[in-house]
Amino acid sequence: MLFSLSSSPLKMEGRKVVPRKSFDGDGSFVVPPASKRSRLALADKSNEAKQVQVVPSESPERRRKKTPALDETDDELMALGLHRLDEEGDAGSSSGRRKNLPGKKYAEPSPVFSFKKPEPRVQSRPSTAGPSYFASLPDELVIQILHWLPKRVLAHMALTCRRFSRLARDEVFWRRVDLGGRRLPPGVLGLLLLRGVTYLRCAKASFTSPVFLKPSKLISSKLQFLDLSVSDLALSDLDLVLGSCQRLVKLSMESLKLSSRSLSLVSQNSNLSVLHLAMCSGVTAAEVTHLLQTCSQLKELNLAWTNLDAASVEAVCRNVNSSMERLNLSGCRDTLQDSLVVTLTRRCPRLLELDVSDAVRLTGKVIHVILTNLTRLESLSTSRCYSITPVAYLAAAESQSLRYLNVFGVMKDAAFKELRRRLGGRIDLNQFPFSSIARPTVGIRRTSLWGNRVRDD
C-alpha cells in the first residue's frame, strides 16, 4: 500500500512521489506538521535520488492480473500442502489457517513429500555354510560331470572361477563342434582350433574377418573332419585355415572360391581320404596334378561342376591313384571324351561308384568299356549323356557287381520300361537323382559329419 503525506498528493507525470516513512519509538506511524511537510517536499525535490522512492504507477487491470483470484490461489496452495495466513494471524496461530467459505468444503491438506530416515546398511557376515564337497572332487570327476553340459553353458562357466576356466578348456569338451548356419564373430574359429577340435561342421556359416586374432600362435590344429560347404569365408581366411590343418582325413569345400594356393595347402594332408570340391571355382590343372600325386590315400573325390577345362580333366584321368573308390566328374560337358574314360578305368580298377553325368561327348562304347574294366563297380550314373543310345545299356545285364544305374533324361518311358524288363529287376534304375560321393551329409542326417555325430543333443 502507498501512503500520501498531504491532502493532495504530489504528482509527477505518470508517477507518484512517496516520501520516506518515519516511525516513533514504539513503532507507530508519525505524520509531520504542515510546515515540516513543505520543507520535506522541497528537500525531497532537490535530493530526489537519495530521499525519494519512485514507483511506477500501475493500472487497476494490471494489478488485478498480478494478484490471482483467492479461490484459485488457495486451491493451488492446498494442492502443494500449504496454507494462506490471514492478515491478523501468524504462522503458529489457528487464525492463520484458511477459513471455510460458505458453500465450499476444504479437506485438510496432506503433505506432498514425506521424509524417511534411511535404514542403516546391513553389514555382510561371513558365510556359515559347510565345506564345499564339489570343490574337493578331483578334476577327472568334475570333467565327467561337466561333459553333460552344452557348449554354451561351458563357455559361461569358464568365467566364474579359475578352476572352471581351466577345466572348461579341456580338449574333451571341444572335440565335436557344430556351427552350421551361424554367424561367427572374429576370432571364434581360431579359438576352437586352439582348443583341439577334431570334428568341425561349418556348413552355411558366415565368418567375420579375421578368423584368427593371433595367427602366430596357431602352429598346427588337430582337425581331422572339416565341413566348409557353402560357407561365407574370405580367400585369405580360407588359406589360413587350410594352412593350419595337416591332419585332415575328410574335407568338404563345396561352392567355395579357391585361390591359387588353396589346393597346394590341402596337399599337405597326406592322410586325406575324402575330398569334396563340387561347384568350386579356381581349380587348375597344375593344382589338381600336385594334389593327386601328393595325396596317395585319396579314395573319394568329387569334382562335379567345377568348370574344368580340357587340360584339367586330362590331368585328373591320368594322375588319379589306383586306390580311388568313388569318383564324380559330372558337368564336364565338352571336355570328357571316350579316350579319357578308357584311361581312367584302367588306372582305377577298384572303383565302386562312378558319375559321368552331363558329358555329352561320350558315346555308347563307353558303357562296354566301363563294365569290362571295372569289375567291382556297384553304381554308375550317366544321366543326360545324350550321345549314348538306350541299346548300349543292355550290356549292364552282363555285369555281376552293378546294383544301381542312373539314366535320368536319356530315354523315353517306353524304352525305360523295356530296359527294366531286360535287366530282370536285379539292377535298380534311377534310384538316386543326386550323387552322394564325398558329401558330408547324406539323407535325413543333416547334422552328421560323414556319419559322425557333431552335436551334444
Contacts of 236 by beta carbon, 8 Å cutoff, 6+ apart: 209
Q: Within a domain: residue 183?
A: no
- Residue 305, domain CATH: 3.80.10.10
- Give the residue from 79, 72, 75, 74 showing the smallest Cα distance to 110: 79
Alpha carbons 333 and 366: distance in angstroms, whole number: 15
Q: Within a domain: residue 203?
A: no
Contact 10, 52 (CB under 8 A): no
- Give the residue from 211, 201, 357, 344 showing the smallest Cα distance to 276: 201
Phi and psi for 227 in degrees, rounded to 5? -120, 110
Residue 207 bridge partners (DSSP) = 184
Read off the pTM. 0.69
Q: Within a domain: residue 226?
A: no
pLDDT the model gives residue 453:
85
C-alpha grid cell for residue 179?
556351427
Q: Within a domain: residue 309?
A: yes
Alpha carbons 274 and 284: distance in angstroms, whole number: 19
Q: Within a domain: residue 401?
A: yes
Q: Within a domain: residue 268?
A: no
Domain membership of residue 309 as a residue range: 299-432
Contact 304, 278 (CB under 8 A): yes
**Containing H/E element for 18?**
strand 15-18
Q: What is the DSSP string of 227-244?
A: E-TT-B--HHHHHHHHHT
Contact 273, 248 (CB under 8 A): no
Written as tens digits, the pLDDT of the chain (457 aa) is 444 444 444 444 444 444 444 445 454 445 555 555 555 555 555 555 444 444 455 555 555 544 444 444 455 445 544 444 444 444 444 444 444 445 544 455 555 545 555 666 656 555 555 677 778 888 899 888 888 888 888 888 888 888 888 888 888 888 899 998 899 999 888 888 888 899 999 999 999 988 888 765 556 888 999 999 999 999 999 999 999 999 999 999 999 999 888 999 999 999 999 999 999 999 999 999 999 999 999 999 999 999 999 999 999 999 999 999 999 999 999 999 999 999 999 999 999 999 999 999 999 999 999 999 999 999 999 999 999 999 999 999 989 999 999 999 999 999 999 999 998 888 999 999 999 999 998 876 667 899 888 876 5
Residue 326 bridge partners (DSSP) = 300, 353
Q: Within a domain: residue 141?
A: no
Contact 405, 428 (CB under 8 A): yes
Looking at residue 427, the DSSP 8-state letter turns out to be S
Contact 180, 252 (CB under 8 A): no
Contact 411, 386 (CB under 8 A): no
Alpha carbons 379 and 355: distance in angstroms, whole number: 8
Q: Residue 415 burial (CB < 10 Å; 0-12/13-18/19+)?
A: middle
Contact 363, 393 (CB under 8 A): no
Residue 15 bridge partners (DSSP) = 12, 56
Q: Within a domain: residue 389?
A: yes
Residue 259 CB neighbour total at 10 angstroms: 16
Q: For the chain, what is the domain count?
A: 1
